[in-house]
Amino acid sequence: MAVKFIAHVSDDSLGNWFIELTDTLEESSVICENMSEFKEKLQDMGSEYGNDIEVEWTKSKDLSPKSYQELNEQMAKLQEEYADEIAELNRQSEDYQGGFNPNA
């Protein structure tokens, strides 16, 4: 079963967004000020669990529209960077029949 991580997006006092990444099993958090830092810390923290993790995204109710848009743009770039890997994972998921088959 995947370990749940929470990525909570907020604005700092200067109006810049940041992500508080929380490992719910260890109850530890780190602050990420950009997507590169988020990616690196997520990989580091997730490696403790064989990268069997699930990330739940939340946002502060007062996150500015500017920050929200900027974060979405950076996430889209990151998704493009991993498009082939994401497609392969999706194919594997579709190919997996799941469960125990006593007739196999």
Using one digit for the tens of pLDDT, what is the confidence trace for 2-17? 899 999 999 999 989 9
| Residue 96 reports pLDDT greater than 70 | no
Segments making up each domain of the chain, as ranges: 3-95
The angle subtended at Cα 96 by Cα 93 and Cα 102, nearest 5°, is 155
pLDDT value for 89: 72
| Buried/exposed 10-41: b ≥16 CB within 10 Å, e otherwise | bbeeeeebbbebbbeeeeeebebeebeebeeb
- Percent of the chain having pLDDT more than 70? 88
pLDDT value for 51: 84
Higher pLDDT, residue 31 or 96: 31
Mean pLDDT of the chain: 87
Task: Tell me the pTM.
Answer: 0.77
